[in-house]
Structure 1
Amino acid sequence: MFSATIDATAFRNALASVEVLVEECRIHVDSDGMRLRAADPALVALVDLTLDAEQFEQYEASEAVLGVNLERLSEILSVAETGDTVRMEFDERSRKLDVEVGTLSYTLGLLDPDSIRDEPDLPDLEPPAEVTLDGRHIDRGVKAAEMVSDHLRLAVDPDRETLVIAAEGDTDEVLVELGRQEVAALSPGPADSLYSLDYLTAINRVIPRGQTVTLELGEEFLAGFEFVVPEADQPVTYRVAPRLQRA
């Protein structure tokens, strides 16, 4: 059993934060809320998001797993106007999800959860370095890196207490260097890793400008990105595996 009502914009933003990595995923629901966790097909990046029951205007659920095509559900939500709510109810007999957005009613066929890749466990890491900064700094670094390379370097210089966002191509290179005066918080430690720009570009698309993002970094480290989903007021967490650097 599952039925819920939530602000359409908040739910659309929540889905978008997951959809940048995967087209379909398992949605776990229970009395505490809704959880979405998935990894991309190459198992390079992972996303984890929980919407607590308190975030919904109405919420009732027993433990269940729904296999959802996120692209199709997002298309339904695209018709929502500001202030609209979305109401969802799972029909156990038909194994379909009834969705109402404003005056629109839609019956969404669900996927067999067993046909969707198992979501990996979220690793429990102790990052050597942690930086909290405005999302616009990440946006600037990612867009600059796209001009010269297909990967991006994230590093922390513990002596100078700076975050370095850099990329190097065959002939050109770019560098963004942020000290304590440019970031909201910095816990310096040894950190220097390369990451595929494809994944960071995808994540950057949903990072809110003007809001803070927390980075967890290290050497050859599974980087962490966390920020609050706009309107949903819930944190979304990403983990991105590093690329091996040449010796």
Structure 2
Amino acid sequence: MKITFSNASLWKYTILGISKILEEVAIKADKDGIRLRAMDPSHVMLIDLFFPSSSFESYEANSEIIGINLENLSDMLKRAKKGDKLEIVTEGNKFQLKFIGKFSRIFTESTVDVPYQELPDINLEFKADIRLSAQIFKDSIEDVEFLGDNIYFIANESKFTILNESEIGKAIVELDKDSGNIISLVCEGEQKSLYGLEYLESLLYSAEVADIVSIQFSSGIPTKITFEFPQGARLVSYIAPREA
């Protein structure tokens, strides 16, 4: 495999967030693009990161599976500078990153033996569907995260609320449909569900490089959170609810 991507920072932030949840993954590269799809060890969060082949400046890949230690990959990607391009080359059991900018930096690591699992598609019916800027979502989670380890998503036809409460008190962010902070909001009745903060926090890295995030949920079922990136890539995550 040999590929070139115009924005190394996009890889930097998405992989950094995923590395907070997963240690090792198998990445699949084929004619359609590059996919990282895996479940965290506790089976609370499913992550599906996809870069279509059309999002790359150059793309050469046959069907191959590449096992990667995400902590090591994240450490290498942290060296990306603003404006850098990213070149990835695999040969045998070697995985090479090259940052192309004012000067070139090359990092190489050995691949790891991780099987690629074809996880089934998740089909859920969501009664709440909210689209907003990724930065507003990031700011909202950060505004309430100090108070406890779980966060409520609450929605009705006119408002999306993010709530954190504990014995200490409550922290609430309210985003009204007509305030200009929400791109779109569709909701049947009132929906309320509780999710683990650590999983939501891992997604906030992607908000640094995403334009739009969509949040879909219903009371008592997993939430689907989708980040849309400028190059046509996307990160889809499902997070199982916790009991209130």
Q: Which residue of 1 aligns with 2:76?
A: 76
Paired residue for 1:169, among 141, 166, 171? 166
Task: Quote the Cα distance in structure 1 between the aligned partners of 2:76 and 2:144.
Answer: 34
C-alpha deviation, 1:106, in angstroms: 3.0
Task: Quote the Cα distance in structure 2 between the aligned partners of 1:54 and 1:135.
Answer: 23
Task: Quote the Cα distance in structure 2 between the aligned partners of 1:210 and 1:81.
Answer: 17
Equivalent positions of 1:32-181 (< 5 A) are: 32-92=32-92, 95-102=93-100, 103-114=104-115, 118=117, 120-158=119-157, 161-181=158-178
2:148 maps to amino acid: S
Q: How many residues align?
A: 237
Contact kept in structure 1, 2:13 and 2:208, CA below 8 Å: no
Change in 2 beyond 3 A, CA 1:208/1:76:
closer
Change in 2 beyond 3 A, CA 1:47/1:100:
same
Task: Quote the Cα distance in structure 2 between the aligned partners of 1:3 and 1:210.
Answer: 25
Change in 2 beyond 3 A, CA 1:9/1:175:
closer
Contact kept in structure 1, 2:98 and 2:106, CA below 8 Å: yes
Return the TM-score normalized by structure 1.
Answer: 0.85
Return the TM-score normalized by structure 2.
Answer: 0.86
- Tell me the alpha carbon deviations over residues 170-211 of structure 1, each in whole angstroms, 9 at most, x when there is no partner: 141122222211311011124210111121122223324893
Q: Which residue of 2 aligns with 1:238?
A: 237
Q: Between 205-214 and 182-191, report the one with greater CA deviation.
A: 205-214
Contact kept in structure 1, 2:134 and 2:210, CA below 8 Å: yes
- Tell me the alpha carbon deviations over residues 26-74 of structure 1, each in whole angstroms, 9 at most, x when there is no partner: 1001111110112222111121111111111211111111101122123
1:163 maps to amino acid: F
**Structure 1 position 211 matched with structure 2 position 208:** no
- Tell me the alpha carbon deviations over residues 65-99 of structure 1, each in whole angstroms, 9 at most, x when there is no partner: 1101122123223333333333222213xx22233
2:152 maps to amino acid: R
Q: Which runs of 5+ in 1 are unaligned?
A: none
Change in 2 beyond 3 A, CA 1:112/1:219:
same
Q: Which runs of 5+ in 2 are unaligned?
A: none
Secondary structure in 2 matching 1:79: coil
Secondary structure in 2 matching 1:147: helix
Change in 2 beyond 3 A, CA 1:82/1:195:
closer
Task: Quote the Cα distance in structure 1 between the aligned partners of 2:2 and 2:55.
Answer: 14
Q: Between 218-227 and 177-186, report the one with greater CA deviation.
A: 177-186
Change in 2 beyond 3 A, CA 1:98/1:213:
closer
Equivalent positions of 1:7-18 (< 5 A) are: 7=6, 8-18=8-18
Change in 2 beyond 3 A, CA 1:78/1:152:
closer
Change in 2 beyond 3 A, CA 1:71/1:171:
closer
Q: Between 75-84 and 65-74, report the one with greater CA deviation.
A: 75-84
How much identity, in percent, do the aligned residues show? Answer: 25
1:109 maps to amino acid: S
C-alpha deviation, 1:128, in angstroms: 1.0
